[in-house]
Amino acid sequence: MAHHFLEGEIPNDKPEDAVVHIIPVPLESTVSYGAGTAAGPDAIIEASMQLELWDGSAKPVLGGIHTADPIDCSKPIAKVLDAIEDSVCYAVECEALPFVLGGEHTVTLGALRGLKQKVGRFGVVQFDAHADLRNIYEGSPFSHACVMRRAMDDLKLPVFQIGVRALCEEETEYRKVNEVPHLDARELHLKGIPKKILPADFPERIYITFDVDGLDPAVVRATGTPVPGGLGWQDVLTILERVVAGRKVIGADVVELAPNEGDHASDFAAAQLAYILMGHSLPSEQ
């Protein structure tokens, strides 16, 4: 591993001493349009070296961050998911927050498996331009387009979707039949951000998965399938504040950054997003 998160500002803490474990997963196995997600974790870590430690309200790093070695993604997808699961389990055993940097969105499944094994039931809050509810896509049930279907069907986890604006008939029907709660981009545009976002019966413990294409391309253009009409930066900050209110974040990820040469803004936005998510996930005394 060439660098660690926030290198130059803080040391790479030992796993047992850190409150956050950064788990880089440079997976690029089933991307279906633009390529480049394998370089996403490194780009986020490189950009993190330009971040301010003060995130606007706190310094999430005070408890220490450990950046693990990247997961070996040269193996079959089943082995990659197993390795992610093991890393997430280890983070939980260290009493740290597992924070995955992708890589394509499939990496989230490994993280969810690990947390399900360690803590039981929780809810998944998904920021995304796409629903990712297909059962099989391009011949694989482990495609990035199927990850939320695997979360719901295989792990029996409730999912709340935010910012979706591109989905197929299969996904629309699945949403309807399974009553998948959502706050789509069009509804946000027409009605604004509601005071209460998650349903009252949604689990107290949540995992936040953030596909950067959930943001408008004006904020992050460097992603495999940028979709117009996405979430603005300030709106995301407000939504995150309301999502975490009264709930406990037990893990998170930022995925689907596909860096473009010269587009430092996208890399920096993804790194800042990751750091802000950490701040929302840790106790205030951290």
| 257-261: average pLDDT | 95
98 φψ region: left (φ > 0), alpha (ψ -120 to 50), beta (else): beta
Question: What's the pLDDT score for residue 58?
Answer: 77
Question: What's the pLDDT score for residue 129?
Answer: 98
Would you say residue 102 lies in a domain? yes
Would you say residue 2 lies in a domain? no
Q: What does the alpha-carbon distance between residue 106 and residue 112 come to, in Å, rounded to a whole number?
A: 11
Question: What's the pLDDT score for residue 59?
Answer: 86
Q: What does the alpha-carbon distance between residue 104 and residue 211 come to, in Å, rounded to a whole number?
A: 9
Residue 185 has pLDDT above 90, yes or no: yes
- Cα→Cα distances 266→22, 161, 230, Å: 19, 22, 14
Residue 142 has pLDDT above 60, yes or no: yes
Which stretch of 58-67, 106-115, 128-137 has the lowest confidence by average pLDDT? 58-67
With tokens 């009605």, the residue in question is 191
Would you say residue 26 lies in a domain? yes
| 60-80: average pLDDT | 94
| 175-188: average pLDDT | 98
Cβ neighbours of residue 111 closer than 8 Å, sequence gap 6 or more:
23, 84, 85, 88, 98, 100, 207, 251, 253
Report the greatest alpha carbon distance in the chain. 50
Segment 20-32, tens digit of pLDDT: 999 999 999 765 5
Of 11, 50, 16, 6, which Cα lies nearest the Cα of 267? Answer: 50
Question: What's the pLDDT score for residue 31?
Answer: 55
CA atoms within 13 A on the CB side of 81: 17
Cβ neighbours of residue 260 closer than 8 Å, sequence gap 6 or more:
36, 221, 222, 266
Would you say residue 31 lies in a domain? yes
Would you say residue 33 lies in a domain? yes
Residue 285 has pLDDT above 60, yes or no: no
Q: What does the alpha-carbon distance between residue 127 and residue 164 come to, in Å, rounded to a whole number?
A: 8
Question: What's the pLDDT score for residue 57?
Answer: 77
Would you say residue 138 lies in a domain? yes
Q: What does the alpha-carbon distance between residue 279 and residue 286 come to, in Å, rounded to a whole number?
A: 9
Whole-number percent of the chain with pLDDT over 90: 91
β-strands 123-127, 205-211 pairing: parallel
Would you say residue 202 lies in a domain? yes
Whether residue 12 contacts residue 90, with contact meaning beta carbons closer than 8 Å, is answered with: no
Question: 1 falls in which pLDDT band (50, 70, 90)?
Answer: very low
Of 103, 118, 24, 111, which Cα lies nearest the Cα of 66? Answer: 24
Segment 190-242, tens digit of pLDDT: 999 999 999 999 999 999 999 999 999 999 999 999 999 999 999 999 999 99
Of 54, 52, 107, 61, which Cα lies nearest the Cα of 85? Answer: 107
- Asked, as a colleague might, if the bond just before 103 is cis with ω within 30 of 0, I would say yes
Question: What's the pLDDT score for residue 62?
Answer: 85
- Residue 195 corresponds to which amino acid? K
Would you say residue 286 lies in a domain? no
Of 133, 163, 152, which Cα lies nearest the Cα of 243? Answer: 163
Cβ neighbours of residue 285 closer than 8 Å, sequence gap 6 or more:
none
Cβ neighbours of residue 34 closer than 8 Å, sequence gap 6 or more:
223, 224, 225, 258
Q: What does the alpha-carbon distance between residue 175 and residue 257 come to, in Å, rounded to a whole number?
A: 26
Question: What's the pLDDT score for residue 284?
Answer: 60
Domain of 26, CATH number, reads: 3.40.800.10
Residue 282 has pLDDT above 90, yes or no: no
Q: Please tell me the total count of domains within the chain.
A: 1
Q: What is the mean pLDDT of the chain?
A: 95
- For residue 176, what are the domain limits? 15-281
